[in-house]
Structure 1
Amino acid sequence: MKIREIVVVEGKDDTRAVQRALDADTIETNGSAVSEETLEKIRLAHEKRGVIILTDPDFPGEKIRKTITEHVPDCKHAFIDKKAARAHNGRGIGVEHAAPEAIRIALKDAHLMVEANEENITREDLIDAGLIGGPKAAGRRERLGELLKIGYTNGKQLHKRLMMFRISSQEFAEALEHVLWEEEQ
């Protein structure tokens, strides 16, 4: 399987993992301090073929994603959840540890982030759903992010991502219902 877009990853190990999963070209950021030269490559790739950002589900990965988005808006975003990105020995988390199938699914489900114009889901909705504050909030957010394919976030980021990915109230309600149902099992 070949994809048209160029996949932006953090390093060589991530490139190898992506290429084990499918036929894709990559650009490596080589760490969270993304250089101007790398940003220029990403700009050109976006103009010519499109870009999908696939970074590790951790703080440095989110920093890279944010830096690229500030300089090259309209890139697609793919997320691998923390469980799928965990090393077998438990000593690391990243794209390089993900199974080929997890990478294929993440790239297939890539989203385009857009400026949030309308608020379908309010912060109060997130509090009422037990996604902000409370003992189960972090676990619920993690599972919700997996189901909606928007990655793991803290409470503040969750609201922003729901708006940026234009998750509808219905999509949110269905995913939340599934999360709550799983808790009861």
Structure 2
Amino acid sequence: MTNIEKVIIVEGRTDKLQIEKLIIENVKIICTNGTLGVERLEELLINYDLDNKDVFILVDEDSAGQKLRKQLSIELPHAEHIYIDKTFREVAATPESELAIALLNRRIKVNPIFLI
């Protein structure tokens, strides 16, 4: 198994599927399925060695997403944030080209066909 150095944390499965389509490097995408309890968050930190990875937070631009982003920011202060335009509200509803540019801006390799 190749050593994964980058991790993207998203809210749901549709977000994960949308991002998987775009990226062309070995990145682990973790779904939180909403807000995280302390135990679940500890589990993620340990299981994925998040303190020693490049962590990116990509969540919806709604109240639940902002709450999750705030929670993750406290536990993972080194994480980089990827934002989508508020007009799209949800990661899964964001056009592929917009998502691809947002990922590329954080040094995550994407398939160039999505940059059109």
What TM-score, normalized to structure 2? Answer: 0.73
- Quick one: which amino acid aligns to residue 50 of structure 1? D
Match of 2:104 in 1: 108
Higher alpha-carbon Rg: 1
Q: Percent identity, aligned pairs only? A: 29
* Alignment check: 8 A CA contact 2:8 2:55 kept: yes
- Quick one: which amino acid aligns to residue 49 of structure 1? K
**How many correspondences in the alignment?**
99
Match of 2:15 in 1: 14
Unaligned runs of 5+ in 1: 86-92, 111-185
Higher strand share: 2
- Decide which of 71, 74, 80 is 1:67's aligned counterpart: 71
Q: Residue 48 of structure 1: CA displacement?
A: 3.7
Higher RCO, Cα 8 Å, sep 6+: 2
Match of 2:94 in 1: 98
Aligned partners of 2:30 and 2:52: how far apart in 1?
Answer: 14
Alpha-carbon RMSD: 2.1
Aligned partners of 2:53 and 2:31: how far apart in 1?
Answer: 16
Match of 2:40 in 1: 37
Q: Secondary structure at the match of 1:25?
A: strand
Match of 1:27 in 2: 30
Aligned partners of 2:12 and 2:6: how far apart in 1?
Answer: 18
- The 1:45–1:78 alpha-carbon spacing in structure 2 relative to 1, beyond 3 Å, is farther
Q: Residue 99 of structure 1: CA displacement?
A: 2.0
Q: Deviation string for 1:101-147 (max 9, x for gaps)?
A: 2112212334xxxxxxxxxxxxxxxxxxxxxxxxxxxxxxxxxxxxx
